[in-house]
A and B are shown apart, each in its own frame.
Chain A
Amino acid sequence: MTSTATTIEEYQRGGYKYGFVTDIEMDSLPPGLNEDVIRAISAKKNEPQWMTDWRLEAYQRWLKMDEPDWAFIDYPPIDFNSISYYAAPKSMDDGPKSLDEVDPKLRETYNKLGIPLEEQMMLAGVAVDAVFDSVSVATTFKEKLGEMGIVFCSITEAIQEHPELVKKYLGSVVPQNDNYYAALNSAVFTDGSFVFVPKGVKCPMDLSTYFRINARNTGQFERTLVIAEEGSSVSYLEGCTAPQRDENQLHAAVVELVALDDASIRYSTIQNWYPGDENGVGGIYNFVTKRGKCQGKRSHISWTQVETGSAITWKYPSCILLGDDSMGEFYSVAVTNNRQQADTGTKMIHIGKNTRSTIISKGISAGVSNNSYRGLVQINKGAHNARNYTQCDSMLMGDKCGAHTFPYIDVRNPTAHVEHEATTSKIGEDQMFYCTQRGLSEEDAISLIVNGFCKEVLQELPMEFAVEADKLLGISLEGSVG
């Protein structure tokens, strides 16, 4: 076991590889939150009056709400008045007309992250709507997608260009007063992505957004809305990395997905926000509300997430299975190390008949971290023949971390079949022995075993992401355990 201790230490010393800061002049609002700040955000984005009113309404609701405290996480109270709610790179004021005009420093940043923004991007077949702090800086493939009727743009643009769609769907899955952070987001969201896939169209490529938090003291509040009309399908990728900071940064995003009859949405996330150092200093507070509504018959929403970053993760990508025969899936790998805390899982609300859901969750805890799965499976009265299968496995690395499982199952229809299984384990000495005696180094052996542990989730990721996820797991668990 001594080798275990050493490897854990090595892992804990492993620095955050994306911790650099891009030095760009920022156009920020002073810290603080009040109606004027919200009006200012709305004005900066040149929003119509209905949008400003919607934000103010959300703010009023937020004021009446309490911060939730039920999650298995511990953090000092957040002073919402010490955060600046708007930051845009200055150079945006001139507005880049093409990729070449994008601020070279920004592009350099993305290149460090390995984001294929230029030629590589074409080759990779990925359309990128890169969000640098709060304003979308580059959108590609827009025209090509536009020919098919697909809208892929920033939410700011969508509010200007497609107000009828935004009005109809914004807040339809995650209402303003859904929870504390969703209300906050509704009031102050600065940017995010908007996807609309019209009837019968299969989106020919994976749509991708990289988020990046850059400016000091700015919360990132994105709002993403994906709408798939009848018979359409789309795959959306979201990746996040953030530079190293000493202060905790707040990230409260809202993602809404709407799938109509026979539509299919696949949403994949790799979350690698800065997790804080080994003493728990710094790191992102990630309070995210993600929810998909399978509104139509036979619709399908699938969430896949690989969560390795953030000091605190509070995230429950959920599916409301409203349409008959609709299907929801949740595949998750959550890794915590050092003093990271994750409370993540999903909700599957079965409302329609013959609805099915699958939950596969893999939690890996190392260091002195705490990793919790929290999930709800609810079968409503009218949900005849609903099916759910849940499996959540935890793996512990080291004897100072915690792995917890808090499933909630609520069944109100006798024809439902709900199964839940969970296990907690560690990497077996026999597994390690087998691998090492075949000539694998301890590192490779761990990587192999962890990849095997997460395989059911990783194989759900689109190709480009699977490669990155594989790399990330490798980095996150560098030198961990046996």
Chain B
Amino acid sequence: MSRASLILALTALVALALLPFYAGEYFINLASQILIAAIFASSLNLLVGYGGLTSLGHAAFVGVSAYVFAWLTTHAGAGPAVAAAAALVGATIVACVFGLVALRATGLGFLMITLAFSQILWGLAYRWASVTNGDNGISGIPRFSPFGLSLDGAAAFYWFTLALCVIAFAAIAAFASSAFGAALRGTRDEPRRMAALGHDVRLIRWITFVYAGFWAGVAGLLYVNYNKFIHPSAMSITNSAEGLLAVIAGGSGTLAGPIVGATLIMLLKNYVSAYVERWNMLLGFVFVAIVLIAPDGVIPGLRRAAARIRGGRK
């Protein structure tokens, strides 16, 4: 990370941390949702951007984690801490299993097989009503209270989410910039050469898949704690696609890209939609415009623009 972007990131973090002091409750809640979407998109970015594996089923892990937490707290009488741990373990185990099969494919095949897995879980959430309560969803879910701190207030929940978000981004950034991350990029760009060099391409991809699934599980945990309600739609194609679109629009394979993309989509969907009736169409046009102006996403586009300006000054 360059010094300029480090300063930028720190300033942004301070501004974000102070948000509850200058924004109303609605905006605090909106910000929490954006942060959750950003964690989700960033975890997906590990696969899409660094691994070259386009998944259209990543919301499945959000759903698994959320449902495990919801079921344990409402039906099994488990405490939120135990339920949270179990939720993350659940999402990770599901990722382990799915990864074994899904990674037999790449490209469109991988996209379809991840879609298939998430649709199967979505169908299960609808149909296995004795556990998931089907289409009615599970409601009355309590929020967890880490270290005895209540997260029922908008600001408290936001700060907690922000803290987890920082940890998540740091963990994802560390993963991406590590030697392992370099190997992962190698499997994306030159899978045959990597295999020839003695790397186990499938294993590298599998570890990434599981790691990405874990962080999606974290997003799912925050999602269910924020909404206090879970419904099969959390695992829908739409949600998976939204995450994917956030990654691509913001700039896949960059750390900031998924955050920018997720912010953009959440703002359009939840905020701009109050003013623009045809917000779905607007969202479509924004995507097309991004591709036409910056084919590899907003962040890479901005970097090029910045470089051009600097170059122009010289």
Partners in one complex: no
Enumerate chain B interface residues (CB-CB to A < 8 A).
none
Enumerate chain A interface residues (CB-CB to B < 8 A).
none
